[in-house]
Amino acid sequence: MSPAKGLFALFREIHDRAREEIEGEAERITQALTSLYEQLEAGEISEEAFEAHEAELLDRLDEIWAETQSPVEDERDEEDETEYEEADEGESTAKDDFTQASN
C-alpha cells in the first residue's frame, strides 16, 4: 500500500468512527426525548421544564443532522478518493526515477 493510500485509509477510519460517535449521540438524544415525553405525560415534570429540555435536545439533534447530512462533505470525500487513486496510478518510486535517469 502506498503512503498516500495508507494515510487516506487512516483518515477514512477516523472519519467513520467520528460519524459513528455522532450517530450514537443522536440515538441517545432520541431516547432522551422519548423519556422526556413520558415524564410529561406522567406529570413528573412541568410543561415549562419539558419545553426547555425539549428545545435543547431538538437543537442538538438538528446540529447533528446538519453535520451528518452535509452534501459538501460527501462531494469532498468522493473528490479525495479520486485524487488519491489518480496519484497512486501515476506514482513513481525513487528507484524508478534513478533507473530512468541512468538510461
**Residue 49 in contact with residue 43, Cβ under 8 Å?**
no
What's the one-letter identity of residue 34?
T
Summarize the confidence of residues 43-55 as an average pLDDT: 95
pLDDT exceeds cutoff 60 at 81: no
Q: Which residue has the cell 502506498?
A: 2
Whole-angstrom distance, CA of residue 26 vs CA of residue 18? 12
* Strand locations in the chain (E): none
pLDDT exceeds cutoff 60 at 69: yes
CA nearest neighbour of 64 among 33, 98, 99: 33
Whole-angstrom distance, CA of residue 19 vs CA of residue 82? 21
pLDDT tens, residue by residue, 24-44: 888 899 999 999 999 999 999
pLDDT tens, residue by residue, 84-94: 455 455 555 44
pTM, two decimal places: 0.53
Whole-angstrom distance, CA of residue 28 vs CA of residue 21? 11
